[in-house]
Chain A
Amino acid sequence: MELLTPGTGLLFWQVIIFLTLLLVLSKYAWKPITESLKEREKFIEDSLDSAKKAEEELVNIQKKNEELLSEARKEREKILAEAKTLSNSMKDDAKNNAKEMADKIIADAKKVIDSEKDKAMNDVKNTLAELSIDIAEKIIKKDLSQDSSQKKYVEDLIREINKTK
């Protein structure tokens, strides 16, 4: 029972000393300690936050860089493709032009050749006719009167030549 009866003296001193302890420690120990701990935690948190932010920014910048790069790549491809089509069309145009020109030249040449051929043919025909006439003249001159049948033959010949003319 003695264990369970609180002593008045101890009770009194415990109240006084514990309150003193509480006041002294609150002012000189707990306040600076908890405040510094809080500040330190805030500092650490802030540092972590800013590190995180910096990282995010870095990622953003990288993303932007990549975007720029890919855009530039696309642009290049576009330009290249345009140049290719342009050169192709230019080539086609040139080819077509050349072909047309060639065709025209060929056609002209053909025309010239045809007309030359006709001319030559006419010449040949004329010359042939003259020659034939000459030959015929000579033959006729020689003995036209000799044989009537011959005469008839010559006449036929002349007719024939005239017919073909």
Chain B
Amino acid sequence: MLSKRTYFLFVLLLFFSVNHLAFSAEKKEGEFNMGEMIMHHVLDDYRYEIMHGVIIPLPIIVYKDSGLEIFSSSNLFDDDHNALKEGYNGFKYDHGKLKPIDPQLSYIDLSITKNVAFLIMTSILMILIFVTVARGYANKYSVPKGIQSVFEPIILFVRDDIVKPNIGHNYEKYLPYMLTLFFFIFFGNVLGLLPAAANLTGNIAVTMTLAIFTFLITNFSGNKHYWKHIFWTPGIPLIMRVIILPIELIGVFSKPISLMIRLFAAITAGHIVLLSFIGLIFIFQSYGVGFFSSLFVVGLNLVELMVAGIQAYVFTMFSSVYIGLAIEDEH
């Protein structure tokens, strides 16, 4: 009986869909561009659009030869939030990018973009939360309570299941970095799923920075044994050493690159899939698609929550593994 009803609903959905697909095909294009919508959500921007029409202007900071220039991004738009063609202060807004009107101009863009604003909010939230958690430890032997009991198991998990087994006996030096890394990625991932949030951990600049930090820590803490393994792998014939050397060198760089790409791809892909299903509603403009798409998006959101945790775990774990391999004692 239930399956019959589902079947009926499905047919109804198809009917509506086909009906509206036919309609939308007749309409002029440009009404709703899915790709543009998704890119707009996934990419960085110079304005913080909380919802359609509610836009917070952000400061634009440009470093030129003549010095720093700071102005609000609202100067680049007219009252209807359309980009001004003539621009402002020598810059104009073009499809989510800041472009100099004079193409010869050399400058460094240090603007507080949507992602930077979100980054600042995430960091402040993290500091507030973890300083509050730390205050719970003022009485050392008391039972954890409140927010402390939420984060203590996660902190212990990071310490005992990620950092300690992978780095080894010298793990304490790296624990603050690993905890910050884990919670930064975790908070970025989870908060990024909220409506009106920025795609922070799905931005390549963010993942690149994190990967570079891990890369630097790994190679600066690498001991003699680690470097010997890369440049003159012991225990194999001479010719093999020559063959292995470039492979090892590639490995040194492929490790952080894999970290960077993995996090970026996992989070951005999740956002794109979510937005695609939401976009379907606007394409088909049918109740049936709206209903089922929304159901699907709820499910996907749960999957994305899981991915948020997994990616934070994976990034931290691989960072620990790389550092652990670099400081491993000779065996």
Contact: B43 with A30, CB < 8 Å?
no
What mask results when residues 146 to 184 of chain B are scored 1 for a CB within 8 Å of chain A, else 0? 000000100110010000000000001001110110001
Q: Which listed segment binds A: B133-141, B225-233, B240-248, B295-303?
A: B133-141
A-B contact count (CB 8 A): 121
Contact: A37 with B39, CB < 8 Å?
no
Question: In the complex, which of the residues B42, B137, B172, B184 has the most CB atoms of chain A within 10 Å of its own CB atom?
Answer: B137
Is A120 interfacial (CB 8 A cutoff)? no
Contact: B134 with A29, CB < 8 Å?
yes
* Contact among B127, B130, B179, B205 with A7 in the assembled complex (CB-CB below 8 Å): B205
User: B130 CB to closest chain A CB, in angstroms?
Assistant: 4
Is B190 interfacial (CB 8 A cutoff)? no
Chain B residue with the shortest CB-CB distance to A34: B175
User: A48 CB to closest chain B CB, in angstroms?
Assistant: 14
| A69-95 with Cβ < 8 A to chain B | none
**How many positions in chain A have a CB within 8 Å of any CB in the partner chain?**
34
Is B203 interfacial (CB 8 A cutoff)? yes
* Contact among B109, B176, B208 with A9 in the assembled complex (CB-CB below 8 Å): B109
Decide: A30 near B175, CB < 8 A? Known: A3-B268, A18-B184. yes
Is A36 interfacial (CB 8 A cutoff)? yes
Main SS class of interface, A: helix
* Contact among A2, A14, A20, A25 with B43 in the assembled complex (CB-CB below 8 Å): A2
Contact: B204 with A9, CB < 8 Å?
no
* Contact among A9, A14, A28 with B134 in the assembled complex (CB-CB below 8 Å): A28
Distance between Cα atoms of A12 and B208 in the complex (Å):
11
Contacts of A26 in B (CB 8 A): 176, 180
B residues in contact (CB < 8 Å) with A: 39, 42-44, 61, 96, 108-113, 115-116, 119-120, 123, 126-127, 130-131, 133-134, 137, 140-141, 152, 155-156, 159, 172, 175-177, 179-180, 184, 203-206, 208-210, 213, 268
Taking A11-B209, A22-B176, A33-B130 as known contacts, 13 extra A-B pairs with beta carbons closer than 8 A to each other, sorted by chain A number, are A3-B39, A3-B204, A7-B115, A7-B205, A8-B110, A10-B113, A10-B206, A18-B184, A18-B209, A28-B127, A29-B127, A32-B134, A40-B141
A residues in contact (CB < 8 Å) with B: 2-15, 17-18, 20-22, 24-26, 28-34, 36-37, 39-40, 43
